[in-house]
Structure 1
Amino acid sequence: MMALRKGDSVEVHSKQEGYVGSYYEATVVKPLEKNKYIVQYKTLVTDDEKYWLKEVVDATEVRPSPPKVKVSVSVSGFKQQDYVDAYDNEGWWVGRITGRTSPTHYSVYFDSTNEELSYPVSRIRVHQEWINGKWFTSQ
């Protein structure tokens, strides 16, 4: 398991019902004992909306922020059934490309919610998995 340090940019994989399949950008505030971290989210706020949300998360729910992968929309772009992350509701959600709705928009199907939604390419990224300390793309 990779040790993260204070200030590291990470993503937290939610295991809560209704949020499975989503990743939220955060920063490590402090490593704790027993493979836990205090993180501060970059997009989620407290109930009163005054502060960025902080919480203790297990190391199994945290991964480094993925590297950027460029996709040329004008040349080939995403293909049907490509796994992608779509930015929605303050986080990145894992889905599959089901088609193109315009030159700059794609339809994405989400297994976790059984929904298909259209997104501009600016809110879609190549899905990557963090496995044994390395990044792997699904393409």
Structure 2
Amino acid sequence: MAAVNTEEIERECFKKGAQVEVNLEEPGFRGSWFTGTVIRAVTKKTRKLFIEFDTLRSDDGSKPLRELVDVILARPIPPRERFRSFKFEEVDAYYNDGWWEGVITGVHEDDRYTVYFRPSKEEIQFRGSDLRLHREWVRGIWVPPLEEEDSDEENDDEDEEWTGE
């Protein structure tokens, strides 16, 4: 297995002007990702990015929030998916100006889903268009949740049994 050059990946993904998502470590924001633009790229010395957020505002609300963030809290914008339906799986739900990690606990008619958020212990209903499959950014690649990989294998087995192969 080839070694992963994380510095090269960071230079490529977090250039000035790149669109990114940032995980905020502040209380009440656990499990959330907010979009922004890289204003100043990562340097070897500081390992930080200067970000201007798209939906978060400065304290006085007059301009977009700008913050210096640790590179390990940033990731590129996840790939877009075609319309999909969801099962009981990990998702990100667009809520309160950001993407929040949750788990689908209910599937309803008209493309609506109930999502449970572990940190706040809340359940909220969303349209499918406000959800995306939860993925992790690991060493330069997008990794789906383990359950998604397992369920694909299970579905393959079911298809084989059903078709008689």
Same fold (TM over 0.5): yes
Aligned residue in 2 for 1:38: 50
Paired residues, what number? Answer: 134
Q: What are the superposed Cα offsets for residues 70-118 of structure 1, whole Å, 9 maximum, x if unpaired?
A: 243xxxx1011x1100011110000011112332210001111111110
Aligned residue in 2 for 1:78: 86
Tell me if the contact between 2:42 and 2:71 (Cα under 8 Å) persists in the aligned partners.
Answer: no
Equivalent pairs: percent with the same residue? 37
Gaps of 5+ in 1: none
Matching of residue 62 in structure 1 with residue 79 in structure 2: no
Distance 1:84 1:40 in 2: 25
* 2:139 counterpart (123, 132, 138): 132
The range that moved more, 27-36 or 124-133, is 27-36
Tell me if the contact between 1:46 and 1:52 (Cα under 8 Å) persists in the aligned partners.
Answer: yes
Structure with the bigger percentage of helix: 2
The range that moved more, 100-109 or 50-59, is 100-109
Q: What are the superposed Cα offsets for residues 109-138 of structure 1, whole Å, 9 maximum, x if unpaired?
A: 111111111011121111111001101122
Aligned residue in 1 for 2:153: none
Matching of residue 17 in structure 1 with residue 24 in structure 2: no
Distance 1:26 1:35 in 2: 17
Tell me if the contact between 1:128 and 1:135 (Cα under 8 Å) persists in the aligned partners.
Answer: yes
Q: What SS does the aligned partner of 2:59 have?
A: coil
What's the TM-score, normalizing by structure 2?
Answer: 0.77
* 2:38 counterpart (28, 34, 39): 28
Gaps of 5+ in 2: 1-5, 149-165
* 1:107 counterpart (114, 121, 145): 114
Looking at both structures, which has the greater relative contact order when contacts are Cα pairs under 8 Å and sequence separation is at least 6? Answer: 1
2:39 partner letter: V
Structure with the bigger percentage of strand: 1
Q: What SS does the aligned partner of 1:18 have?
A: coil
